[in-house]
């Protein structure tokens, strides 16, 4: 057969071989992979390598961590990518979902086979109330609890453990300190706190938009590996109506899948799962196995309850995973 130029370069083969063994690729190698054009042999070889690594390491388990946004509030933090801010003007009044509603969501998630409950609050939600809800859920459902809240101290981290939480989601966001009023160093300090008190640290590189450079995206991938994230991955920015970020546009699901694959090879054998958001099929062929079904508030939605808007159900997430031959009915790898 004549040479049709189908082989990838030796340099790329070397990077993919290293990544495929779970050794973790380095910054310059990750940047090389990030530059692959979509719809090329190199891009699909990258995705296949990440896919194979995850299927072997995670035993074809499809993970689903059920997001409950516990309150809607015109948050004064005014992060530019968030629909829950005062500046966005979408939500005028504060709404705290009732205990009865939160319990109903949690019980339904358990019944449908969710692997964890991820409890999200806005920046000024009372921390004591988050602890109270954690205690209540711990008594009611047998699903691991993950907090998704503001920066915390060691004492607050220990209080989360005492309330029944086993993990905490926390991210140094893209554009932190520029598109948000928050201090990047304080965000990293909270990551250290989470690890030091014995909580599992959950992470995602987010919210990715076309304006973010490959360098800043890869640096956050490396942050996740170096601090030992239980899971990481890629979440793209969703531009809500009237978002000040609309002028930048949004990345496609296929572009996100390419980044998911790079992130997966960066992470090596460190993670117990690899995430993508919002749920879609492409990234399930690129190293992702973790979805987030959603109810309650969401920083990507103009609906107070995202279950009535953008949020996907546990059933829908399971169906997507099964179509791509991930098994959501296996035990979670994240909480062993």
Q: What is the mean pLDDT for each group of 10 consecutive residues in the chain (336 residues)?
A: 62 96 97 97 97 98 98 92 93 93 98 98 94 98 97 98 98 97 97 98 98 98 98 97 95 98 98 98 98 96 94 97 98 94
Q: How far apart are CA 99 and CA 290, in angstroms?
A: 27
The structural domains of the chain, with segments of one domain joined by +, span 24-323
| pLDDT recorded at residue 124 | 86
| Residue 170 contacts residue 190 (beta carbons within 8 Å) | yes
Residue 138 main-chain phi, psi, to 5 deg? -60, -35
| pLDDT recorded at residue 2 | 36
Q: Render the burial of 259-286: b for 16+ CB within 10 Å, e for the rest.
A: bbbbbbbbbbebbbbbbbbbbbebbbbb
| Residue 225 contacts residue 264 (beta carbons within 8 Å) | no
Q: How far apart are CA 62 and CA 284, in angstroms?
A: 9
First-residue to last-residue Cα distance in the chain: 50
Closest among 192, 202, 193 to 169, alpha carbons compared:
202
In this structure, CATH architecture of domain 24-323: Alpha-Beta Barrel (3.20)
DSSP sequence for 241-281: TT-TTGGG----HHHHHHHHHHHHHHHTTS-SEEEEES--S
DSSP sequence for 82-98: -TTBTTT-S--S-EE--
User: Which 8-state DSSP code applies to residue 306?
Assistant: G
User: Which 8-state DSSP code applies to residue 177?
Assistant: T
- How many CA atoms, within 13 angstroms, populate the side-chain half-sphere of residue 6? 4
- How many CA atoms, within 13 angstroms, populate the side-chain half-sphere of residue 145? 27
Give me the helix-helix angle, 214-226 and 27-34, nearest 10°.
Answer: 130
Structure tokens at 96: 């705290």
Q: What's this model's pTM, rounded to 2 decimal places?
A: 0.96
């Amino acid at each position: 057969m004549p040479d049709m130029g189908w082989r990838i370069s030796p340099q790329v083969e070397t990077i993919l071989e290293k990544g495929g063994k779970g050794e973790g690729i380095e910054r310059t190698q990750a940047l090389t992979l990030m530059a692959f054009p979509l719809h090329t042999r190199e891009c699909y070889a990258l995705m296949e390598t990440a896919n194979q690594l995850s299927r072997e390491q995670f035993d074809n388990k499809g993970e689903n961590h059920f997001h409950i946004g516990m309150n809607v509030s015109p948050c004064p933090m005014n992060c530019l990518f968030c629909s829950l801010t005062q500046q966005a003007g979408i939500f005028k009044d504060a709404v705290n979902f009732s205990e009865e509603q939160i319990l109903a969501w949690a019980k339904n998630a358990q019944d449908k086979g969710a692997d964890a409950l991820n409890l999200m609050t806005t920046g000024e939600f009372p921390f004591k109330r988050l602890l109270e809800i954690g205690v209540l859920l711990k008594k009611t459902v047998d699903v691991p609890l993950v907090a998704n809240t503001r920066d915390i101290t060691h004492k607050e981290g220990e209080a989360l453990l005492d309330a029944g939480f086993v993990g905490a989601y926390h991210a140094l966001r893209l554009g932190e300190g520029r598109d948000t009023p928050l201090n990047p160093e304080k965000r990293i300090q909270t990551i250290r706190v989470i690890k030091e008190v014995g909580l599992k640290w959950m992470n995602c590189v987010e919210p990715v938009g076309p304006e973010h450079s490959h360098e800043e995206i890869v640096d956050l991938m490396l942050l996740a590996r170096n601090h030992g994230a239980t899971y990481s991955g890629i979440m793209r920015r969703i531009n809500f109506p009237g978002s000040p970020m609309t002028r930048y546009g949004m990345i496609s699901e296929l572009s996100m899948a390419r980044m998911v694959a790079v992130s997966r090879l960066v992470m090596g054998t460190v993670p117990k799962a690899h995430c993508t958001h919002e749920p879609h099929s492409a990234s399930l062929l690129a190293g992702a196995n973790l979805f987030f079904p959603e109810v309650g508030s969401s920083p990507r939605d103009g609906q107070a309850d995202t279950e009535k808007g953008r949020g996907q159900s546990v059933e829908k997430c399971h169906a997507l995973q099964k179509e791509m031959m991930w098994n959501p009915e296996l035990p979670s790898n994240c909480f062993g």
